[in-house]
Amino acid sequence: MKIVVIGAGAWGTAVAMSAAAHPAGHGVTLWARDAVQAAAMQAARQNVRYLEGVPFPPSLCVASGDALQLCQHADLVVLGTPMAALRAWLTQLHTCRAPVVWLCKGFEAPAAGQASGWLGHEVCAQVAPALRAGVLSGPSFAVEVARGQPSALVAASSDAALRQLLVQAFHSSALRVYENPDVVGVEVGGAVKNVLAIATGLCDGLALGLNARAALITRGLAEITRLGLALGARVDTFMGLSGLGDLVLTCTGDLSRNRRVGLLLAQGMTLAQAVQSLGHVAEGVYSARTVAARAQALGVEMPLTQTVVDLLDGHIQAEAAVQRLMGRDPRGE
């Protein structure tokens, strides 16, 4: 199978490496926007910027230049770009003969005059409705997938044949891939967990204890589920890899960039300082407001998410955020 991965960040690179190491012998090309970066990766046989010390499989090819031409000869195109770039890429690929899946998690930032942003599948329906499309998501840190450590992902699409194609492309002894037709649920789980990871990092950074962390994660899952059901998702999706699994990993793992933001804010850093210190994209910072806006438009209550938004916007400080949540009126679970 010929696979093209667009975007040479940490996650795009890791997915390309996993596919290139597959026993089926896929032909995998990792496309980088920057020709200098592409040449450097090809020469070093690793992505020094994002995954230093993890060597590429021998068969992985790195390219730059005309990405659309490259995609026309592929059997599968994987978009490893941030959410902000998804619309532009899907617009360019709307006539692509190969199916296209994306890795990004979040809601698109709303356009001027628009109340709230869209999920990836909604963006695709607007700009590339004829495209065979889906999403690859789940609990996964890029460096562990790149190293071939045991991981599991979800291949979500309304197209059963595409789900099976993703299993053929990525399922191996190191990476299990499960099919799920619930694209809405998979995307909501992936989008909201990043926001809740910031809240959990804040909790840990303030040394509130393990009880507080467990409560926050559990109530966070309730928020994810409420929003997902309002958008038409299946409730059982949130008990799976892209719901509970991704939430637990991102909220507790030391490799979580979003959790790290919360930890740094608890230490007194400004948001700008925290983001700059990461050196990577923390999607929760950019999607928190869009998640809250979509929930508000649907009349869905998400107090944890709204508190994170107010914290990121500088309306409240870390200690005040905790006091707000603990001071809410009692209610049934």
d(CA 20, CA 175): 13
Q: Say which DSSP state 314 is in.
A: T
Q: And the tokens for 329?
A: 């009126």
- Of 121, 193, 257, 259, the active-site residue reads 193
Residue-by-residue DSSP string for 258-303: HHHHHHHHHTT--HHHHHHHH-S--HHHHHHHHHHHHHHHHT---H
Phi, psi of 162 (to 5 degrees): -70, -40
Q: 72: which 2 tokens?
A: 């026309």
193 is catalytic: yes
Q: What is the three-class DSSP state of 202?
A: helix
Q: What angle do CA 196, 324, 233 make, to 5 degrees?
A: 35
> Which sequence positions are flagged as catalytic?
193
